Structure 1
Amino acid sequence: MKIKSTPLKDCYIIEPTVFEDERGYFYEKFNEQKFEELTGMNGHFVQDNISKSSYGVLRGVHLQKGEHAQAKLVSCLEGKVFDVAVDLREDSPTFGQWFGVELTPENKLQLYVPRGFGHGFSVLSETAIFSYKCDNFYHKESEGSVIWNDKDLNIDWKLPADKVLLSEKDSQLPTFAEKNF
């Protein structure tokens, strides 16, 4: 397992070591001990989530706040997504900045999104199956969010705006300036 830094403090790309031969491949998708040694971050996850979406679906920008804050380890099991982390920790040197990475089953990359970050992804393939591990349980009353097309954040979701498909909830999220995080 290799850990690659991103421009955002405490946010990492995880690249597994893949063993491949004529039979196929094998890799360790996650190892708590190695993860903690390499990042210094807590690698204990308590909830796994899977979503399936079609081209143009954009989910985000979401987070859990307060005592129910969640770190996430995300990956794409089928298809292609553009995954985005936004640093919403006001005391962070990278507050208000975002980072995005393409995740596919072929590149096998994962993104570690720490507590206090917003998270979202857009689907760039016909369909995608997206997986995320969370280090805390979901708590509806602790939801925070920022609208996907916020002018201050100016996130490039790698989709034409007229192709973006949102849930009703995601189409009505507050702006970054409204600080619902």
Structure 2
Amino acid sequence: MKVEVQSTELDAVLEVRTGRVADDRGFFAETHSVEMWRQAGFEAEFVQDNLSKSRQGTLRGMHFQIAPHAMGKLVRCVQGAVFDVAVDLRAGSATYGKWVGRELTGDGDLCLWIPEGFAHGFLALEDETLVHYKCTDMHAPETERALHYADPDVGIEWPIEPSIVTQKDAEAPRLVDVEPSV
């Protein structure tokens, strides 16, 4: 299957479509092969896969890891729907502090590539939402950082009000208190 890649408002954050073949049985989609990503121009090596299940209104984020374990993510919704967001935290970037968001659904083939240097989070728009993401580094708690999901200086426009937020995410620092990444 051919991967289609399209730019977003933030350079380096990409919309990725892996395609599907549908028939009377349902559909088939090839979601990962080294050759598929190489042909699409991806240099990333994925070393860890994560899967999360969320109820409607659950907000997870905005998370990132700093060097030496900065992490890129390829995010896909496999069931339900999420509003997936990336915030640019790259030192010296012309779009530092800006965000981009896309609705990802289990019925579609749209994925979001979020490279190192960006905070990432999502809001579940439906119950029983499953999100799968491929990571370019291992989870390293000592390098975990977070950005407040409702920081007015960033201004993320969530499509619904988050109703389930961990204390850790609710107490995350604002952009002015976060050191630039990468």
**TM-score calculated relative to the size of structure 1:** 0.93
For 2:151, the equivalent position in structure 1 comes to 150
Q: Distance in 2 between matches of 1:30 and 1:10?
A: 20
Could you tell me which residue of structure 1 aligns to residue 166 of structure 2? 167
Cα deviation for residue 69 of structure 1 reads 0.3
The aligned amino acid for 1:174 is: P
**Corresponding residue for residue 29 of structure 1:** 31
- Opposite residue 151 of structure 1, the aligned amino acid is P
Aligned residue-pair number: 178
**After superposition, what is the alpha-carbon deviation per residue over 1:84-142, rounded to whole angstroms, capped at 9, x for unaligned?**
01111022222211100011111121111000110000011122111111110111110
1:88-167 correspondence to structure 2 within 5 Å: 88-160=89-161, 163-167=162-166
CA deviation after TM superposition for structure 1 residue 32, in Å:
2.8
Q: Which runs of 5+ in 2 are unaligned?
A: none
Is the partner of 1:121 in helix, strand or coil? strand
- One-letter amino acid matched to 2:59: L
Calculate the aligned-residue CA RMSD, in Å: 1.4
> For residues 58 and 127 of structure 1, what CA distance do their matches in structure 2 show?
13
Query: d(CA) in 2 for partners of 1:8 and 1:36?
Result: 22
Q: Please tell me whether the aligned partners of residues 6 and 12 of structure 1 are also in contact (alpha carbons under 8 angstroms).
A: yes
C-alpha distance in structure 1 between counterparts of 2:145 and 2:61, whole Å: 10
Match for 1:8: what amino acid? L
Shift of 1:76: 0.8
> Is the Cα–Cα contact under 8 Å of residues 19 and 109 in structure 2 kept in the other structure?
no
Distance in 1, Cα, partners of 2:37 & 2:6: 12
Q: Given that residues 19 and 25 in structure 1 are in contact (C-alpha distance below 8 angstroms), is that contact kept between their aligned partners in structure 2? A: yes
Moved beyond 4 Å, runs of 4+: none
